[in-house]
């Protein structure tokens, strides 16, 4: 599988794409957004199928103040 967060967007189908953190739909195509942060020793990713889903996301990052 090609990394779904890469600019290539090749060989990524709905089954291998990560699910949107807001609606659960496959996060692929040009509208896809990804947020990444470090939590202790872990790298955490949240994938979104669109900018509107990213905006609706209940931000769980420690720096989000919530």
One digit per residue, pLDDT tens: the chain, 66 residues? 555 556 555 667 788 889 999 999 999 888 899 999 999 999 999 999 999 999 999 998 887 655
pLDDT value of residue 35: 93
pLDDT value of residue 3: 59
Indicate the length of the chain as a whole number: 66
Rg (CA), the chain: 12
CA separation, residue 43 to residues 10, 22, 52, 61, 65 (Å): 24, 19, 24, 11, 19
Give dist(CA 9, CA 55) in Å, integer. 23
> pTM of the predicted model, to two decimals?
0.76
H-run or E-run covering 56:
helix 51-56
């Amino acid at each position: 599988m090609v990394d779904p967060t890469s600019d290539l967007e090749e060989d990524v189908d709905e089954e291998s794409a990560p699910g949107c953190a807001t609606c659960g739909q496959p996060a692929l195509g040009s509208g896809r957004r990804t947020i990444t942060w470090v939590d202790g020793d872990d790298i955490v990713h949240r994938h979104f199928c669109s900018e509107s889903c990213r905006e609706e996301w209940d931000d769980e990052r420690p720096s989000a103040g919530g």
